[in-house]
Amino acid sequence: MHYLKHLSLFLLLSLFVGCTIAPNLPQGDNEGATSALYERSFDANVPNIALLNLFFTQMPKGGDLHHHYSGSIYVETYLEWVKNKHWYIDSCTFKIVPIKNNDGCKALSVDELIANDTLYRKLLTLWSDKDFSNHSHEQLPPDSNFFNTFGYFSPISDQYMDVGLNIIKERAINENVSYIESMLSRVGLSSSEFFNSDEIKMFNNELRNASTQEEVNALLERISIVYEHSPAFNAKVQNFVKELERRHQGIDTETFTMRYQTYAIRVVEPLQVYTDLLAGYKAVQSTPLLVGVNIVAPENNTIAINDYTLHMRMFNYLMTKYPNIHRTLHAGELTLGMVEPKELLFHISQARNIAGAERIGHGVDVMYEKEPLLLLEALKKYAAIEINLTSNEFILGVKESEHPYSIYATYGVPIVISTDDSGVSRANLSHEYVLLASRYHPSYKTIKTYVYNSIDYSFLAPAEKTKIRAQLDKKFEVFEKEMSLLAKRLN
């Protein structure tokens, strides 16, 4: 199938460059020829982005390990779902309203909204990053614009999750991606279901006042006992797992695999963060479809900043209880000016050294860490970095030579290239590779290493990694054969 797909691409290109078609595929050093074609993109002063787009769209990309489910669905799909539900959009706030209520602003059907080009375009800017930079309009700071998008589409995002997973799968297959590890959702339990308001207040205060790991452990022990003994807690975790198994049906094929992470949201009260984490660990224990736990939401939020070390200690406690459960953490998604300088000193190192993160999401502020060399050494040995160039540029304004990619790369920290929220960013994984190549010009061999890293540093079981790696070998053979043909045609 793939061979045919690539061959038809080649036929098209042959027409484009006005050449006849070679009857046989060439033998020889296809990897070298592919590398030479890639290098050719840099012949002029400015990289040939069109050629890089073609090259990386076709290139096998292994896995996407930093992938948020709801942020990966495009607005157009969400609007289709709103329409299916016969819900409306408020024409002033652009929020979803399930029932038509014309008390204030007019509630429009999706068709009515799309028919009004001004309103539709405005919605696209609010529900995604579209047109943020390419025309002048009233707008929020980029990080607010980005994170607010989730508030707009959250009422609909989990309504058709089985459909959404299939859309993500099809998109992945179309750009030669074999594996996605998606941050799906919280398990969804609330601490208020299990504790009264006085107890919640007390635990939140005590957790925030605890100044050592031991003190935090003692409190988490007390909280955990309540949950462990609650049939309702365990039943809800199992319901979450069952629902996930139902939604996942039919997703995996011989050549495509999808797995999931669950997470806590870092901008809520400590007891709720721990509830999400413990429920997450229990869920991961219950199904091979869930492969890890994460912590998400803006790291510069006031609660996220004030409770950062406490959150890391929660992970530390859970790591001793559940040593086999994988964790990757958003850490260092910050930059100078966004928070006080003291907040830039320790987030990545605590994620690695206290929380035991096996992968770090973003790691953009590594240059400002207190002991960067020790940290890089630790990361090199124990953790991979998930690099999200589009997201970092939009949310943090950190791009090109300001981005620490080159530091990680030169130091030998394992790197994986990922998308973060390709629906909000209106991009895809191939585009992340184009940015990587056009900005930093790593060798083709290095790029291949990143692709294999995306399987090696995934949280898949060893046998699954071996299988996908072997498939990647074959995919690269086909790709390199195609690219060496293209190189000849372009000569």
Which of 231, 315, 236, 301 is closest to 273 using CA atoms? 315
Strand locations in 400-477 (E): 415-417
In sequence order, what are the beta bridge partners of 97? Answer: 88
- Applying CB under 5 A, among 420, 432, 464, 480 the residue interacting with Zn ion is 420
- Confirm if 349 and 370 have CB atoms less than 8 A apart: yes
User: 358: which DSSP letter?
Assistant: S
Cβ nearer to Zn ion, comparing 52 with 296: 296
Q: Which of 135, 78, 89, 129 is nearest to 112 (CA)?
A: 89
Nearer to Zn ion, 94 or 147 (CB): 147
Stretch that binds Zn ion, among 132-140, 161-169, 419-427, 432-440 (CB under 5 A): 419-427
Smallest distance, Zn ion to C-beta of residue 151, A: 16
Q: How far is the CB of 283 from Zn ion (least distance, A)?
A: 19
Q: Using CB under 5 A as the criterion, what x/- string covers residues 266-285 for binding Zn ion?
A: --------------------
Residue number of the CB atom closest to Zn ion: 420
SS3 397: coil
| Rounded least distance, CB 424 to Zn ion, Å | 10
Name the segment binding Zn ion (CB under 5 A); options: 11-19, 73-81, 91-99, 416-424. Answer: 416-424
Closest CB to Zn ion among 369 and 420?
A: 420
CB 11 → Zn ion: shortest distance, Å? Answer: 39
Residue for token digits 């609650």?
A: 230
**Dihedral class, residue 46 (left if φ above 0, else alpha if ψ from -120 to 50, else beta):** beta
- Which one, 183 or 187, has the nearer CB to Zn ion? 183
CB of 263: closest distance to Zn ion in angstroms? 10
**DSSP calls for 220-266:** HHHHHHHHHT-HHHHHHHHHHHHHHHHHHTT---SS-EEEEEEEEET
Provide the sign of the torsion angle of the four alpha carbons 346, 348, 349, 351, taken in this order: positive
Strands 96-97 and 415-417, sheet pairing: unpaired
Which amino acid is it at 27? Q
Using the minimum distance from each CB to Zn ion, give the nearer residue, 57 or 418. 418
Query: Smallest gap, in angstroms, from Cβ of residue 294 to Zn ion?
Result: 8
* Pick 31 or 299: Cβ nearer Zn ion: 299
Q: Is the CB of residue 468 less than 8 Å from the CB of residue 257?
A: yes
CB of 71 to Zn ion, least distance (A): 8
Among residues 181 and 307, whose Cβ is nearest to Zn ion?
Answer: 181
Q: Which string of b and e fits 4-28 if b means at least 16 CB within 10 Å?
A: eebbeebeebbeeeeeeeeeeeeee
Applying CB under 5 A, the span of 234-242, 316-324, 372-380, 418-426 interacting with Zn ion comes to: 418-426
Smallest separation, CB 468 to Zn ion (Å): 23
Residue 150 near residue 144, CB atoms below 8 Å:
no
> Minimum CB separation from Zn ion for residue 266, in Å?
12
Binders of Zn ion: how many residues, by CB under 5 A? 1
CB of 418 to Zn ion, least distance (A): 8
Map residues 374-413 to x or -, x wherever contact with Zn ion holds by CB under 5 A: ----------------------------------------
Query: Please, what is the minimum distance in Å from the beta carbon of residue 296 to Zn ion?
Result: 6
Q: Which residue has the tokens 């990619």?
A: 405
Between 60 and 363, name the residue whose CB sits nearer to Zn ion. Answer: 363
The helix/strand/coil state of 361 is: strand
For Zn ion, which is the closer residue by CB, 349 or 391?
391
DSSP conformation letters of 270-334 = HHHHHHHHHHHHHHHHH-TTEEEEEEES-TTSHHHHHTHHHHHHHHHHHHHH-TTSEEEEEE---
Shorter beta-carbon distance to Zn ion: residue 431 or 448: 431
| Residue closer to Zn ion (CB basis): 365 or 420 | 420
Question: Which residues bind to Zn ion, rule: CB under 5 A?
Answer: 420
